[in-house]
Structure 1
Amino acid sequence: MRGFDWVIYAAALGFILLVVFSLAPEAEAPAPPPPSIIAEEMGPLLPDPSPLDELVVVQTGPPQNGVGTAFAVNSRGDWLTARHVVDGCAKVSLEVAPGNYVPVARISLDDGHDLALLSTGRSPNPVRLDLASPMFLGSEGYLVGFPQGQPGELASKLVGRSRLVTRGARESDMPILAWAEIGRTNGLQGTLGGISGGPVFGKDGAVRGVIVAESPRRGRIYTTAPQSVDAFLTTMGVPREAGPSDVFRVRDYGAASDTARRRLQVVKVMCEVGS
């Protein structure tokens, strides 16, 4: 082959190699889809609160002995629950082992939302909170606690915003989120009483809110909005720590729920109102 031909061959080879190596990074790491496509796959963004949001009216009565759920937000003994779980209780304790209860030393109530902070000496493993990320309609939510006083959980999807209106012993009006039930613990039937105060986990294992009410007829569960929890913890000056977390999936969310209870991230609350 003549020298001129070698020059042409080398130049052509160099051009091919340049093209190959310049394209390789894109082949290995394709560009992310535009935000509009991501939002479409996840469902529309959760709209802002509106005067037209569905009203959920709950009639409240005098305090009585009962069971609820709480979860740890740090390792210093700070636990979140729903206000109605502990409001009016003379004695509140957390079950840390079968038949073994730790007394709650201090209870702080949120005047504007169905939230309460329980303080004990220690909490072994806090949950991981996500109270800032945007939420999308259709997002999965996994509700974990002690329905009917027994370990149990539900799978759900976010359907929108509502407002919780309480009447009777305590009157209030607060923004909440509505979730549609799509699955529950085998054998769990009827009321979910006892799961109030428990966390709703996103599929990534981060907690997005606190369970506050249910509508069995409609198959709806209601939780506080993340912003309500964030404002309460900020007002109370509660430090937050991210503990271990697991992925939740529709096909096997029971395992992740059991792990959260076994770690004592999620515990049973006992309320005694006295004689």
Structure 2
Amino acid sequence: MFQQLSQHLSRTHKTLQKKQTFGSIELSGFFTPDPHTVEILAGGSLDADAVSGCSGYISDAPDLELDFSDPSLQLSFFVTSTTDTTLIVNDPSGNWHCNDDFDSAGGTNPGVVFSQPDAGIYDIWVGTYSEGEAFESANLHITELGAPWDSNDSSASTNIDPMLDANYGNIDLAGLFEPDPYQLTISAGGTMDASTIENCAGYVSSAPDLQLDFSNPSDYGLNFFAESSIDTTLIINGPTGDWHCNDDFGGNSGTNPGIAFSDPEAGIYDIWVGTYSEGDAFSEVELYITELSAPWDGSSSNSSEPFNESGGMQLAGSGTGFVVSAEGHILTNHHVIDSCARQTFQIRGNAAVDATVLSSNAATDLALLSADISTTPATFSGTQSVRLGDEVIVFGFPLAGDLSSQGNLTNGIVSALSGLDDDLSRLQMTAQIQPGNSGGPVMNRSGEIMGVVVETANDEFFREQRGTDVQNLNFAIRDYIATSFLETNNINYETSAGESADQSIADIAEAAQQFTGIIMCYR
């Protein structure tokens, strides 16, 4: 018997195999409609137990041949019928996969799931468990989603179950992941009414569309967005088991949903993308997971370059900025944002927001940004004079991705009242700075702004032109240059009313964290 089946089923005896009973089809990843369903007559006269692990009775030729290309995350085969059926699949590598009863929810219906499918030919046989039930009607479902009976189960109160396997599998991401955003094309919607969950809307599948295992959260928010030409909804079951839902995110989103976690926890996030109308189910949608802003806010007013649908603009660099007005104005260096197609600003514990360039001056190396933020702005030192030896404190975000994402504090003294070549617009200081500190605040012991970090001495220049190595030559733009720049742009900034009492460095650091943020430059 095994030799007989081998002649009919083995790819090594393809010339002996009969033509597929119900023909051949071609599908590629993210096919629509999903599921692809074919009505067939199950069973046959051949005993399938000659194929290891298989049961039932099948025809000598495959019932269907699938030529599958451009695999996505999952490929599944299921059978639904009133009779007890079995399923046999021979994959592109020639391996056999068999099933009788897939799970308790499916009853006697079989299923075979390929979590990481290969491209190529899949030969499929639908058998009957009993020989006497051969040629009974059955539906073969080919899908990248879940089992068809999961969408028809009405035994649960909501039928939306985070314990089910995700339709598009599982992913692992950690804080500061790249590329950002993570992007996935999915078929949205389903037959389950999401309004059974409080404050939720739309229609979704029983199983999550995607499961995210998120680790090592950074100080950035974790945001989920869906973008499509149809009206979509978004549902997330977070690490604590709480439900989060959104229909239209607001702003420029139109009918696109979004859910933002400003202080994300590590753990499992189960994600459903729904359609507001049941009739739009299985429409193609882009799902974004990002620590940045929404894709529809992906271009700033100083650029005509759109958000790149293939994965977003590339991170070109980073710097520091600080809030100087209650209206959300941000001061930084010109060289931090120069040539950026887009820039974001993020204060620790808050979501990153897009920042618009209002003014930029290369001569002073200062730039003024605006963003939708609300926080207590920094206070400038006002009329207080700066003396040689005064203590300074610097806060910023140097070497993003390597040093602490919570910010970095250094302190030192004013070591000179001018910069290179006696530049009186600069201060020299011993507080250490690194790439990424640029644009950050330089504060006195009262926590007031006395300068803006701008540069370190060019080691290569001194080595080549002066024949010497330099160490710890750091410079800041003096506060009167910064305030003049703000006044030129009609910005109402805060100044100290008089001489203020000294604070502890810890208190200064705590205050600086509330008005200082990291600037990410994208091109």
TM-score range, shorter chain: 0.5 to 0.7
- CA distance in 2 between partners of 1:152 and 1:98 (Å): 15
Contact 1:142 1:155 in 2 (8 A): yes
Question: Does the CA contact (< 8 Å) of 2:330 and 2:369 recur in 1?
Answer: yes
1:269 aligned partner, one-letter code: I
Q: How is 1:71-90 mapped onto 2 (pairs within 5 angstroms)?
A: 71-90=322-341
Deviating 4+ runs (over 3 angstroms): 96-99, 161-165, 245-249
One-letter identity of the residue aligned with 1:129: F
Write the deviation string for residues 52-111 of structure 1: whole angstroms up to 9, x where unpaired: xxxxxxxxxxxx811111111111010101111111111011113458210012341024
Match of 2:339, as an amino acid?
G
Q: Which amino acid is 2:480 matched to?
A: Q
Secondary structure, aligned partner of 1:162 = coil
SS of equivalent residue, structure 1 residue 159: strand
| Identity in percent | 27
1:256: which partner in 2? 508
Output one character per residue of 1:19-68: Cα deviation in whole Å (capped at 9) or x when no partner: xxxxxxxxxxxxxxxxxxxxxxxxxxxxxxxxxxxxxxxxxxxxx81111
- Between the aligned partners of 1:161 and 1:174, the Cα distance in structure 2 is 7
Distance 2:501 2:399 in 1: 25
Task: Pick closer, same or farther for the CA change 1:99–1:124 going to 2, 3 Å.
Answer: closer
Give the structure 2 partner of residue 218 of structure 1: 471
Which stretch of the first structure deviates more once superposed, 114-123 or 67-76?
114-123
Unmatched tracts of structure 1, length 5 or more: 1-63, 166-172, 185-190
- Return 5+ residue gaps in structure 2 as ranges: 1-314, 460-469
Q: Please point out which of 370, 374, 377 is paired with 1:119.
A: 370
Secondary structure of 2:449's counterpart equals: strand
Relative to the length of structure 1, the TM-score reads 0.62
Residue 428 (structure 2) pairs with residue 162 (structure 1): no
When residues 237 and 248 of structure 1 are mapped into structure 2, their CA distance, relative to the original with a 3 A threshold, is same
Instruction: Label 1:174 to 1:88 Cα distance change in 2 as closer, same or farther (>3 A).
Output: farther
User: Which of these residues, 442, 446, 453, is aligned with residue 204 of structure 1?
Assistant: 446
* RMSD value, Cα: 2.8
1:108-257 to structure 2, matched below 5 A, reads 108-149=359-400, 150=404, 151-163=407-419, 175-181=425-431, 192-215=434-457, 217-241=470-494, 247-249=502-504, 253-257=505-509
How far apart, in 1, do the equivalents of 2:357 and 2:385 lie? 33
AA partner of residue 487 (structure 2): T
Cα separation, partners in 2 of 1:246 and 1:87, compared to 1, 3 Å: farther
* Secondary structure class of the residue paired with 2:482: helix
Aligned pair partner of 1:102 in 347, 353, 374: 353
CA distance in 1, matches of 2:440, 2:426: 15
Change (3 A) 1:155 1:238: same
Alignment of 1:50-89 (within 5 A): 65-89=316-340
The verdict on how the C-alpha distance between 1:153 and 1:269 changes in structure 2, with shifts beyond 3 A counting, is: same
Contact map agreement 1:75 1:241 (CA 8 A) in 2: no
Shift of residue 120 of structure 1? 1.2
CA–CA distance in structure 1, aligned partners of residues 495 and 344 of structure 2: 24
Q: Distance in 1 between matches of 2:479 and 2:510?
A: 23
Given that 1:178 and 1:223 are in contact with CA atoms closer than 8 Å, whether structure 2 keeps it comes out as: yes
Number of equivalenced pairs: 190
Normalising to structure 2: TM-score of the pair? 0.34
Q: Which has the higher contact order (CA 8 A, sep 6+)?
A: 1
Q: Give the partner amino acid of 1:233.
A: L
Q: Does residue 269 of the first structure (1) align with residue 522 of the second (2)? A: no
Cα deviation, residue 223, structure 1: 0.3
Q: Distance in 2 between matches of 1:178 and 1:199?
A: 14
Inter-partner Cα distance in structure 2 for 1:99 and 1:127: 17
Q: Given that residues 247 and 256 in structure 1 are in contact (C-alpha distance below 8 angstroms), is that contact kept between their aligned partners in structure 2?
A: no
Code of the residue aligned with 2:448 in structure 1: it is: A
Partners of 1:192 and 1:127 in 2: how far apart?
Answer: 22
Kindly provide the amino acid, as one letter, of the partner of residue 218 in structure 1: Q
- Assess if the C-alpha contact under 8 Å between 1:74 and 1:242 holds in 2: no
In structure 1, how many angstroms separate the alpha carbons of the residues matched to 2:379 and 2:501? 10
Measured after TM superposition, the shift of residue 132 of structure 1 is 2.9
What is the deviation of 1:246?
Answer: 9.0
Give, as a single letter, the amino acid of the residue that structure 2 aligns with 1:229. Answer: A
Looking at structure 2, the residues matched to 232 and 131 of structure 1 have their Cα atoms a distance apart, in angstroms, of 14
Contact 1:77 1:123 (C-alpha < 8 Å) held by counterparts: yes
